[in-house]
Amino acid sequence: MLGRAANNVYWMSRYVERAENLARLLASTYHMSLLPSAGGNGTQDWEAPLSLTGDTDDFFTRYDEVSAANVLAYMALDVDHPNSIRSVVRCARDNARATGTALTTEVWEAINHTYLQLETLSYQKMLDKGFQEFFDWVKERSHLFRGAIFGTMRRGDAFTFCRLSTFVERADNTARFLALKWAILTPGVSKPLAAEDYYRWGALLRAFSAFKAYREVYSVTIEPRRVAELLVLRQDMPRSLMACVGEELSILEGLRRNAASTNLAAQIYNRMEVSRIDGILRSGLPRYLRDFIRRNTEIHEMIGKEYMLAQ
């Protein structure tokens, strides 16, 4: 597959995954801001999405204060904000249009319909529709897009790069989101969890569609240590770091077994296989996640150099 075409399908799929992850982040933030401990207008909760995407400075060039309305308008629908849901879906559609015949009609229609619907959506319409309904709609459109890829595309290079970028993006999002929420939700060493903290940890699990899985695996009250284990080291959790790296490694081995990106993914995965959550927590989960983000970014950069003619 030509480097430019590979780059287009790679970024198309990565942008769709990013839109879904943004919807999950905003949904989680919205639910957390409604809890009694949020206080005031939930400013601390709504600062978190801006911090995660690194858009705080840009936000304040256009908005006077952090509020639910301002952050939702900025991160969901702002056409001038490159990291809004609307903007990343537009980028995904642009890459899909440039890809040409590599995509099936069903894949193109899934992404084009999402784009057209978002272009007609205003903040007032989103408010009337309901925030949760909007978040669910974005996730459903992402699921439809992936379903069209799995159900209609030939298992060639285009299919491969669509899958690869999905897991690179998902791993990055899980690590960043968990690092941010861990800093906010983890109490002091001797401070017990307050009642509202359980709801907040539950909201975090639901952001990863992991609440039911947590109950199935542990069958106990929510504990931060087990949440971290589920989202970092559980191979059977589709949004865990280990599951994402495992998928990256499997795909990269199919492309080129001895490539630098394949070797790095193997190193990360092998290290995670022998890791235990207690050891990670002793050395510091935020530190571990920062290192993971850095190395996952290195995989992304290597993929660009090896397969997309990136300079």
List CB contacts of 128: < 8 A, sequence separation 6 or more. none
Q: How confident is the model at residue 285 (pLDDT cuts 50, 70, 90)?
A: very high
Mean per-residue pLDDT, 208-222: 91
Residue for token pair 């569609």: 209
Closest of 229, 233, 246 to residue 272, by C-alpha: 233
The pLDDT of residue 188 is 53
Which residues, at least 6 apart from 16, have a Cβ–Cβ distance to it below 8 Å? 88, 89, 92, 111, 142, 145, 146, 166
Angle at 110 between CA 104 and CA 115, to 5 degrees: 125
- What stretches of 120-276 show up as alpha helix (H) in DSSP? 123-129, 131-152, 157-185, 195-207, 211-218, 224-232, 241-255, 260-273
Q: Which of 209, 194, 200, 206 is nearest to 181 (CA)?
A: 200
In tens, the pLDDT along 109-146 reads 999 999 999 999 999 999 999 999 999 999 999 999 99
Q: Which two tokens stand for residue 295?
A: 């190395």
Give CA 16 to chain center in angstroms: 10
**Range in 160-164, 192-196, 207-211, 213-217 with the lowest mean pLDDT:** 192-196
Number of residues assigned to the chain: 311
Widest CA span in the chain: 59
Q: How far apart are CA 223 and CA 209, in angstroms?
A: 17
Tokens of 220: 């106990």
pLDDT level of residue 33 (50, 70, 90 thresholds): confident
Measured distance CA(22)–CA(20) in Å, rounded: 5
Q: What integer is the mean pLDDT of 60-87?
A: 94
Select the more confidently predicted residue: 257 or 42.
257
Cα first-last separation, the chain? 18
